[in-house]
Amino acid sequence: MPDETLQAAFEIKTTCDEISRKLLRWHWEKKPGAHSLNALLEHIAQRQQESPEYYERMPDLSGKTSWSQLDTTLCMRVLLDPEKDAARPLDLLGNTEHPGAARRACNAVRTARNEAAHASDRTAGTQAAILFNEAVEALEEGYAGTALRTTELEQYYRMAEDFLDRCGAKKPLASAAPEGQKAAPRSARPRSEGQRKTSGSGSTSRSRSASNGRRNTGGAGRKDANSRRKGSGKRTKKPRTNYAVLGLLAVLLAVGLLLRWFGMKG
């Protein structure tokens, strides 16, 4: 693998670790109870006993004295913990404003970090850059204005573009949608909260207006057609013959002829 791609993969890994620490610490300090690192390590030790299968192959916790020593594997194991068998569930992601978006963002960061950590050739390094770009987009949806400030998201977007350029990735590979379904590329600047809220309602209003326009146009067309049918009916209508009047005239004519005949005879 070229040195540049190898270096980019390493930087993606370390950046994902940094993001994971920020997310875990933000969630941990928002929950009720103790917020210290020791309280977190005690929680992890307890969950290891309650759910040994979920917490297997965990990094060694001994000697952890600062948040900077935590990596993505440990942070995301805590954040994504289903806690089905927990004595005291914390539900860290569920206590946020958008729990679904937060979970997708955490999964995206973990996936990008794992891809970067195991990258051994140019293709894997490029894929890690693509996944990191997708992770930043997911982070914007799940954590903009909460765990991550706008300036931090702008920084991560710039880093994502840099990684893509250095790895020679112009478009997604394995994670790409079909050509006709690809979304328009995002700007390096995150959207504001108002833009995220109104993007969906704007498209709904446009579709509603178009639908109303089609209905109004259809109604006008039907009215015009009915008018044309009525007009054409009036033009082709023929006057009906009044046979009663004709019969009366014939009787009067016959009576007149008879009277004239009798007058001539007398």
CB 97 within 8 A of CB 146: yes
CB 59 within 8 A of CB 71: yes
| Number of Cβ atoms within 10 Å of the Cβ of 115 | 24
Average confidence (pLDDT) over 201-228: 46
Residue 176 pLDDT greater than 50, yes or no: no
| Number of Cβ atoms within 10 Å of the Cβ of 38 | 10
Which tokens in the block code for residue 161?
Answer: 């573009």
Which tokens in the block code for residue 64?
Answer: 């952890």
Identify which of 133, 109, 128, 125 has the alpha carbon closest to the alpha carbon of residue 16. Answer: 109
Alpha-carbon span 205 to 17, nearest angstrom: 41
pTM confidence score: 0.67
Residues ≥6 apart with Cβ < 8 Å to 40: 24, 28, 78
pLDDT confidence bin for 236, thresholds 50/70/90: very low
Task: Give the pLDDT score at 210.
Answer: 42
pLDDT confidence bin for 222, thresholds 50/70/90: very low
CB crowding 225-242: b at 16 or more within 10 Å, else e: eeeeeeeeeeeeeeeeee
Of 117-126, 133-142, 222-231, minimum mean pLDDT range: 222-231
Q: What is the 3-state secondary structure (H, E, C) of the chain?
A: CCHHHHHHHHHHHHHHHHHHHHHHHHHHHHCCCCCCHHHHHHHHHHHHHHCCCCCCCCCCCCCCCCHHHCCHHHHHHHHCCCCCCCCCCCCCCCCCCCHHHHHHHHHHHHHHHHHHHCCCCHHHHHHHHHHHHHHHHHHHHHHECCCECHHHHHHHHHHHHHHHHHHCCCCCCCCCCCHHHCCCCCCCCCCCHHHHHHHHHHHHHHHHHHHHHHHHHHHHHHHHHHHHHHHHHHHHCCCCCCHHHHHHHHHHHHHHHHHHHHHHHC
**Above pLDDT 70, what percent of the chain?**
69
| Dihedral-angle region of residue 39 (phi above 0 means left; psi in -120 to 50 means alpha; beta otherwise) | alpha
Rg (CA), the chain: 40
Burial of 254 (0-12, 13-18, 19+ CB in 10 A): exposed
Pairwise pLDDT comparison (208 vs 194), residue with the higher score: 194
Task: Give the pLDDT score at 193.
Answer: 56
Residue carrying structure tokens 């992770």 = 135
